Amino acid sequence: MRLRSITICGKYGIHPYAFDLVTLVRNGQMSREEAIHSIDAPLSPLVRYAAKILGI
């Protein structure tokens, strides 16, 4: 997940790629489990560090 995703999730309460992932699942290009896993993927250490510095 990118830093911008963190701010959008916090501000609007929705993952910025959720609608794209829904489309992929409905078209059969990705399983539901893969989509859920990609949303719940852990943050990289660099993104966590940047979020901490920015107070996000």
- Over 14-27, what HEC string results? CCCCHHHHHHHHHC
Q: What pLDDT, on a 0 to 100 scale, did the predictor assign at position 18?
A: 78
pLDDT digits (tens, 9 = 90+) for 16-51: 777 888 899 999 999 999 988 887 777 778 777 887
**What is the distance, to the nearest Å, from the Cα of residue 17 to the centroid of all Cα atoms in its chain?**
6
pTM assigned to the model: 0.54
* Vertex 40: Cα angle to 38 and 44 (nearest 5): 85
Distances (CA, A) of 27 to 16, 21, 23, 40: 19, 10, 6, 21
Going from N- to C-terminal start, the domains of the chain cover 3-54
What pLDDT, on a 0 to 100 scale, did the predictor assign at position 51? Answer: 78
